[in-house]
Structure 1
Amino acid sequence: MCNLYTQTKSVDEIAGIFRDVQMPLSFPEGVPNLEPRDVRITDQAPIVRAGALGYELVVRRWSWPAPNGKPVYNFRSEGRDFKSGRCLIVADGFYEFTAPADPKQRRKDRWLFTASGAPMLAIAGLMRTVPGIGQAFTMLTTEPGPDVAPYHSRQVAVLDPADWGRWLDHSGNAPDLLRALPAGTLTVETSMAAPA
């Protein structure tokens, strides 16, 4: 499953994208200083949530510890409606890894999935407050769509921009929104090989 994604947009770029879909953002904790980078499990990263000031951009930790101590960075969506804690994870793209095409190669092949013809992805997320950590988020997953299925048996739940507000304000129910997108929605390209 997705354990690495990329986010290179500035706060101004993210705010502009949300303005374009009539979702102006506020910054209740101040305007964050976002660095373009790949985001790894336990990193702090930008998310959008519904709050007292409307749609809010804040920075939170990706993953919380499970009872066994392992990080919960992906969470199955099937059979759940997520009555609270919904958020959008702001991303340029997400990575999936496959066994190397060349068996002599030590590193896995890394594939980058981005939005076809769109400047950004919003991945459906879930926030929780965790003792000792504070608020943290995880990515929700679903069955893979035709763009991801050749590479992995699951995929993160990428939302159509028309559904971003419905996800955050709970006017859309999870089973209707958390589904694989049609073929051609995501573009895939090979990326640098990943550590084995």
Structure 2
Amino acid sequence: MCGRYTITVTLEELMVRYMIGVTNIPYHRPKYNVAPGQMVPAVISDGRTNRLGELRWGLIPSWAKDEKIGSRLLNARAETAADKPAFRGPLRTKRCLVPADGFYEWRTEPDGSRQPLRIVLRGGGIFSMAGLYETWTAPDGRRISTVTILTTEPNELMAPIHNRMPVILRPEDEALWLDRSVRDPEALRHLYTPYPASELEAYPVGKAVGSVKADDPSLIEPLAKS
């Protein structure tokens, strides 16, 4: 799964990377420990241009009775999303990009302890995780826009760490993912291939990242070797 990630760049860097002219995000600061339930930057297409806004992490289906379901829909398995009631509609018409520059996963060590690692692009930089979004209307009239991140099988780097990893899109595939005229899930299936292990690297970080309250630059510092 993908349960924590980082997006430590500025709003201006995001706008340049995704060719955004204007945005309704009033303020963005680097985030070193994005956690479920938080507002996260996401990119959608209106059919003509890309738009950058914020969505709450944890998808609430339009038909849901209670918004608490969002805490259980942080991720969607790419292989089966087209068949799931919560995801099949958004997969056809409400796809988005979730920008990140790293994500965390916990590896079980021989002694049973769990070591957090941060996975990044070799050489650094922003990458796009494939997301689905939805807008839910609460009984009191509130409209809540939410997002889930797709996951796929692990590559060779991730396999010893976890049995899933986020669907990371190559820059040249982002336009297809955002294209609202593409509604056939089969036309997207080839995008779920695990991102090449040779283009990623993982390094251990301190266990402070396990706290959702922690959010500062020290979290992404490589763990000092003992």
* Structure 2 partner of 1:117: 123
Q: Identify which of 28, 36, 43 aligns with 1:34.
A: 28
**177-186 vs 1-10, greater mean Cα deviation:** 177-186
Q: Does 1:85 align with 2:85?
A: no
Normalising by the residue count of structure 1, what TM-score does the alignment of the two structures yield? Answer: 0.85
* Structure 1 partner of 2:166: 156
* Structure 1 partner of 2:49: 54
Q: Does 1:174 align with 2:184?
A: no
* Structure 1 partner of 2:220: none
How big is each residue's C-alpha offset from its partner over 1:30-70, in whole Å with a ceiling of 9 and x where there is no partner? x4311112210000010000016510000110113576734
Q: Does 1:147 align with 2:157?
A: yes
**What stretches of structure 2 of length at least 5 have no aligned partner?**
83-87, 212-226
Structure-1 separation of matches of 2:146 and 2:193: 23
Normalising by the residue count of structure 2, what TM-score does the alignment of the two structures yield? Answer: 0.74
Structure-2 separation of matches of 1:186 and 1:32: 32
* Structure 2 partner of 1:188: 202
34 and 98 in structure 1: CA distance in 2 versus 1, 3 angstrom threshold: same
Aligned residues between the structures? 187
Identical-residue share of aligned pairs (%): 28
Q: CA deviation at 1:116?
A: 1.7
Q: CA deviation at 1:125?
A: 0.2
SS of aligned partner of 1:13? helix
Structure-1 separation of matches of 2:171 and 2:123: 12
Q: Identify which of 120, 129, 133 aligns with 1:127.
A: 133
Give the CA RMSD over aligned residues: 2.3
Q: CA deviation at 1:129?
A: 1.2
Q: Are the aligned partners of 2:118 and 2:202 in contact in 1 as well (CA < 8 Å)?
A: yes
Q: Are the aligned partners of 2:60 and 2:134 in contact in 1 as well (CA < 8 Å)?
A: no
How big is each residue's C-alpha offset from its partner over 1:105-146, in whole Å with a ceiling of 9 and x where there is no partner? 5xx210111112351110000001123351100000111112
Q: Compare CA radii of gyration and give the structure with the larger one.
A: 2
Q: Which has the higher strand share?
A: 1
Structure-2 separation of matches of 1:166 and 1:12: 24
